Structure 1
């Protein structure tokens, strides 16, 4: 399956046409979408874009949380009349202005509130590598569509790992831009509303080159001159096992990748910022998130969320319990959490003075078989069964977020890159974290590192 960069080059060279490219994507979708269930809305083909625009004819998809003018935006919720935004999210509009064509909206859990992707609109999104396994969430539809060849690239969003987890589970790349690098408009149900922290739009693609192509137009920045590929990369690494239980299949793939990097003359150092993966950072993230998302609820809704979520919060001390504390909207606690955030950001920036990037797991587990919640209250799903990680129980939410939310708290840019396949034949990815404002430099490091690993692409035949 071709990546977006190669397809665009073929379009520019006249080796294919937009009609042929759209026809190929449509045929692929007809063959595999009944098995994957990645799409909520499929758009009618449009007339070919002007060849004069830089992304002329490039077909992309957009997570159905992100506004595209004139297209229904369901947020994964079944409604008689889903809202149809009048305006397109700025980050997507820049791609459209450059000639990209939106061919569909991809699936997500209701209100993006799960790390598996299922809803009453289309059902459960399956992992292209094994249909019995989750594609992750909440940008699971987009990652599955890209991995299975139904989309050349997807524009998703991330609050607590929603780009990174699906990219890791589906074996594709994603870019989480640094905090403030892109406008956050067009991600909430109410047009014009934004969260102050954490919610960030970013691309999913099949290669680092695809991320760079999209980033150039989303950010309206120019890629710097290519750095010397002979310059030694300084890479800090941690498999996280000293902080949290991590599945052995994840640690194995992570370790094999580190070995490949070392063999390719990367200067690898086992190191971790001391204030990153600690309880105070998980607590600060949850307090800020709960305080700000709680502002979107009325007092009764916040009270009910805390009451009905008590049991789930007790099971998730690193994620849900701090979020529920944030729902109290205590100003002193919020200010304290913001102070903690500033310290974590400073520490990570200082740490990265000595390295080109920090490599971490995306989460404690690899892609897992579809799980059913123990209970459901509105869009909130309570998963009562913990993961058994090498004999140690870890709650659903803590296993999936403990490495993602501290990085969200810091606000640094992150490339999620596939490291390889685990013993089950499923992809495992990692977070490559760079300095604030250094997205291009991070993409360059990711490009070089990914070239040291075997390339993985989703199987052409989707089998159960």
Structure 2
């Protein structure tokens, strides 16, 4: 499968024309997107860009939550007059300035408020591995587009797992940068609005090389050689903390065994303060306090009252978010103090380990679920997941391993580990040191090279440039 890096190389060498790549991708979209529903908006005739730019006209897609000047930005809402931003999000503009071509906007749930992707604009987004399964959310359109070969890379966003869950479910890679590593503008419904914590823009791609290429131009960092010392990898399957599907732990453990047989030093450990009730509560309090500032008092009160049953089913995610809606400054301050403590604890832990390998969620990709109720953009799912005989609510099963990492603010590469017994991909979070994206990407590349590479059925892109 040809990815972003190989395409840029071929474009620069003159082995293929920009128009040939665009035509190939358009053909794939016409053939596949009626079944997958990854794109909300496609650019009919992207401008041809010169091959002498750093990215040589590389075609990319962008999640339809992220502002692109002059393009409708729906946020997954079926509005008659969607927002049309005047300014492109800085992180995306850097790619455009380097020569990337935006070919379209990819789907998300309304206001990015679900971990399945679907909306009234185009319907549900299906997983390229099996159309009966979800692509995850909220960056599910981008992950499905990349996995199916309809896009060479997608730029998404993550608040509570919205890059990591779709990447894991679709068998592709994502990079969640360190908190504050990239500008956070251009992600909210309204100009000039930003959240102080957690919301981060990042790329989804087919390989670590592709992530590194995109990161270079999004961050402005210069590529550098990383010394290939013996890897010291901390691992935690999560099953000693919460119920985790056996199909996930089986793939996880096979990958860990493969790493060990390739001279990776494996240590079974996780920072004590990372995945625990205090972390879940602190994340929710901060998120609820800050997103609550975008609502008026009546809206916050209604959200709490109407969501009581849902919050009771989600003690690790929604309940603390609703508590945060109270906007108590003392509670917010305590949560920020705990956040700093968690970040410091993880930083100290990573002084003795190169990275931490964790599951992305307690469940793998699952068959599409219909919400029990819908209130505006808010969907409630009353039916819990049955995880090998243990019941776990929808939101908690999907976020229990993502929100503590979001709280700490460390960079994460989501990497596919292999296929489960149903032939569906399983991914993991590879958590690195804050501010060390380049080292984390190098490490992810080395670990990925030890595993059998996977590609969604029918996702191979025809090589339209010579042999």
Q: Which residue of 2 is the match for residue 246 of structure 1?
A: 244
CA distance in 1, matches of 2:278, 2:46: 50
Q: Which residue of 2 is the match for residue 326 of structure 1?
A: 324
CA distance in 2, matches of 1:453, 1:408: 27
State whether residues 235 and 267 of structure 1, in contact with CA within 8 Å, keep that contact through their aligned partners in structure 2: yes
Cα displacement (A) at 1:50: 1.8
Cα displacement (A) at 1:188: 0.2
Q: Does 1:21 align with 2:24?
A: no
Q: Which residue of 2 is the match for residue 193 of structure 1?
A: 193
State whether residues 148 and 459 of structure 2, in contact with CA within 8 Å, keep that contact through their aligned partners in structure 1: no
Q: Which residue of 1 is the match for residue 450 of structure 2?
A: 452
SS in 2 for 1:40: strand
Cα displacement (A) at 1:69: 0.1
CA distance in 2, matches of 1:166, 1:132: 15
CA distance in 1, matches of 2:418, 2:231: 20
SS in 1 for 2:51: coil
State whether residues 61 and 151 of structure 2, in contact with CA within 8 Å, keep that contact through their aligned partners in structure 1: yes
State whether residues 250 and 365 of structure 1, in contact with CA within 8 Å, keep that contact through their aligned partners in structure 2: yes
SS in 2 for 1:260: helix
SS in 2 for 1:354: coil
CA distance in 1, matches of 2:320, 2:47: 49
- Aligned residue runs from structure 1 range 2-401, under 5 A: 2-228=2-228, 231-401=229-399
SS in 2 for 1:398: helix
Q: Which residue of 2 is the match for residue 417 of structure 1?
A: 415
SS in 2 for 1:431: strand
CA distance in 1, matches of 2:196, 2:57: 34
What do residues 191-237 of structure 1 show as CA deviations (whole Å, max 9, x unaligned)? 11100000000000000000000000000111222323xx2100000
SS in 1 for 2:288: helix
State whether residues 22 and 45 of structure 1, in contact with CA within 8 Å, keep that contact through their aligned partners in structure 2: no
State whether residues 187 and 194 of structure 1, in contact with CA within 8 Å, keep that contact through their aligned partners in structure 2: yes
SS in 1 for 2:351: helix
CA distance in 2, matches of 1:178, 1:368: 29
State whether residues 77 and 121 of structure 2, in contact with CA within 8 Å, keep that contact through their aligned partners in structure 1: yes
State whether residues 135 and 166 of structure 1, in contact with CA within 8 Å, keep that contact through their aligned partners in structure 2: yes
What do residues 107-165 of structure 1 show as CA deviations (whole Å, max 9, x unaligned)? 00000000000000000000000000000000000000000000000000000000000
CA distance in 2, matches of 1:325, 1:376: 21
State whether residues 245 and 387 of structure 2, in contact with CA within 8 Å, keep that contact through their aligned partners in structure 1: yes
What do residues 314-364 of structure 1 show as CA deviations (whole Å, max 9, x unaligned)? 000000000000000000000000000000000000000001100000000
State whether residues 61 and 106 of structure 1, in contact with CA within 8 Å, keep that contact through their aligned partners in structure 2: yes
State whether residues 231 and 264 of structure 2, in contact with CA within 8 Å, keep that contact through their aligned partners in structure 1: yes
State whether residues 43 and 102 of structure 1, in contact with CA within 8 Å, keep that contact through their aligned partners in structure 2: yes
State whether residues 226 and 439 of structure 2, in contact with CA within 8 Å, keep that contact through their aligned partners in structure 1: no
For normalisation by structure 2, the TM-score amounts to 0.98
Cα displacement (A) at 1:10: 0.7
CA distance in 2, matches of 1:34, 1:50: 31
CA distance in 1, matches of 2:224, 2:381: 45
Uncovered stretches (5+) of structure 1, i.e. residues with no partner: none
CA distance in 1, matches of 2:417, 2:79: 39
Cα displacement (A) at 1:48: 1.7
State whether residues 286 and 332 of structure 2, in contact with CA within 8 Å, keep that contact through their aligned partners in structure 1: yes
State whether residues 291 and 326 of structure 1, in contact with CA within 8 Å, keep that contact through their aligned partners in structure 2: yes
State whether residues 12 and 51 of structure 1, in contact with CA within 8 Å, keep that contact through their aligned partners in structure 2: yes
Cα displacement (A) at 1:437: 0.5
Cα displacement (A) at 1:51: 1.9
What do residues 27-64 of structure 1 show as CA deviations (whole Å, max 9, x unaligned)? 11111000100000001222321222100210000000
CA distance in 1, matches of 2:409, 2:81: 36
SS in 2 for 1:393: strand
Cα displacement (A) at 1:453: 0.2
Q: 2:427 aligns with which of 411, 420, 429?
A: 429
CA distance in 1, matches of 2:259, 2:408: 26
Q: 1:404 aligns with which of 397, 402, 406?
A: 402
Cα displacement (A) at 1:461: 7.0
What do residues 261-291 of structure 1 show as CA deviations (whole Å, max 9, x unaligned)? 0010000110000000100000000000000
Q: Which residue of 1 is the match for residue 463 of structure 2?
A: none
